[in-house]
Amino acid sequence: MTQPTFSICVYCGSRPGADPSFARTAAEVGQWIGAHGGQLVYGGGNNGLMGVLADAALAAGARVVGVIPRALVEREWAKTDCTELHVVDNMHQRKSLMAQHADAFLALPGGIGTLEEFFEAWTWRQLDYHAKPVGLLDSGGYYTRLLGFLRESVANGFMSDWQMDLITVGEAPAPLLQALVQAAGTRPRGVDVSQF
């Protein structure tokens, strides 16, 4: 396996969601990462969108780095065929190690865990704890109302436009992934960078 040219940390649901399009989108993300010589970093799970994402990335030739707390391994929720599977003691260690391995962050549809991870990566970015791009994939309009609420937060003086500008939002996987990889200063194999 060749050395990956970029590494994307993807947050997503440990459930498949009600709409089958969520799983198709997760598979597209994993396939794109693998097809373009990248590495997937994710929460190490085998269930829901997490499992679909990792399976697609592996099938497309990506390195897949999973990071999972020991308690979830003991529940047999770990994806044991990751290229690398790191078992850690708690969620803080999980998120820290995932961030260390990533050039960029991307949130797909998911529940409270996905939202918490996305907001933390975004918060760290606005505090200059890292300079890595943060993306939100609004698959099927899943995050449309959340984005509306965040704009309300700006309108009510609790946030600023520059904070909103720190996240890259897209509705389709490929253009959003291309934008994140470019913003991270890395270059996916097989992509015409003039399209960015």
Cα–Cα dist 60/63, whole Å = 9
Indicate the domain borders of the chain. 6-183
Please tell me the predicted confidence (pLDDT) of residue 75.
Answer: 78
pLDDT digits (tens, 9 = 90+) for 109-153: 999 999 999 999 999 999 999 999 999 999 999 999 999 999 999
pLDDT of residue 152: 98
pLDDT at 1: 59
pLDDT score of 193: 34
CA 50 to chain centre: 10
What pLDDT, on the 0 to 100 scale, is given for residue 186? 65
**Sole residue written with tokens 């780095």:** 65
Q: Are 98 and 1 contacting, i.e. CB atoms less than 8 angstroms apart?
A: no
pLDDT for res 192: 38
Which residues of the chain fall below pLDDT 50? 189-196
CATH for 6-183, options being 3.40.50.450, 3.40.50.1980, 3.40.605.10, 3.40.50.2300:
3.40.50.450
DSSP letter for each residue of 86-144: EEESSHHHHHHHHHHT-SEEEE-S--HHHHHHHHHHHHHHHTTS----EEEE-GGGTTH
Note the pLDDT of residue 188: 55
